[in-house]
Amino acid sequence: MSIYQKILVAIDLTEEAPQVLNKAVEVSKAHGAQLMLVHVVEPVGYAYGGDIPMDLTELQDQLDKAAKDQLTKYGEQYGVSKENQVVTVGRPESEIHRLSKKQNADLVIVGSHGRKGFQLLLGSTANGVLHGTVCDVLAVRIQ
């Protein structure tokens, strides 16, 4: 039996996402593993520090829909079925931790920019995912 059976790939929906997806598809094929696409939509309220008295529900709904549409496109392109596409709302790192446990993933794949110097201090999603995920984590170097 292969060492990886359920792989969760976190994608940020930028133009860099296909680099991460391509590797994730290759790794999942090599292991005959199930591949799950995950995107985390950050709550719009966070961007305003939550103290603007505005109803942001509609904007949040639009963001969720745009993320689901994009994930559907990736699913079709990379052969990942609808039930293996997850869009969730929250902080990317903590949502990825939560989902990897909930889904019993044995590998999480994220993109990494290979930050140096000062940028390192700012941290990265890959770093945040690594510290707190109980299964293996593969960081795909983004070119």
Provide the binding-site residues for ligand AMP, judged by CB under 6 A. 10-12, 16, 20, 38-40, 92, 110-111, 113, 124-126
Reference 109, options 15, 57, 34, 2; nearest CA is 34
Closest CB 110 distance from ligand AMP, rounded Å: 4
| Residue 20 vs 36, nearer CB to ligand AMP | 20
Which position's Cβ is nearest ligand AMP?
111
SS (H, E, C) the chain: CCCCCEEEEECCCCCCHHHHHHHHHHHHHHHCCEEEEEEEECCHHHHCCCCCCCCCHHHHHHHHHHHHHHHHHHHHHHCCCHHHEEEEECCHHHHHHHHHHHCCCCEEEEEECCCCCHHHHHCCHHHHHHCCCCCEEEEEECC
Closest CB 10 distance from ligand AMP, rounded Å: 3
| Residue 11 vs 33, nearer CB to ligand AMP | 11
Closest CB 32 distance from ligand AMP, rounded Å: 23
Closest CB 92 distance from ligand AMP, rounded Å: 4
Say if residues 41 and 48 touch (Cβ distance below 8 Å): no
| Residue 53 vs 117, nearer CB to ligand AMP | 117
| Residue 107 vs 126, nearer CB to ligand AMP | 126
Handedness of CA 23, 124, 86, 18 (dihedral sign): negative
| Residue 53 vs 126, nearer CB to ligand AMP | 126
Closest CB 137 distance from ligand AMP, rounded Å: 10
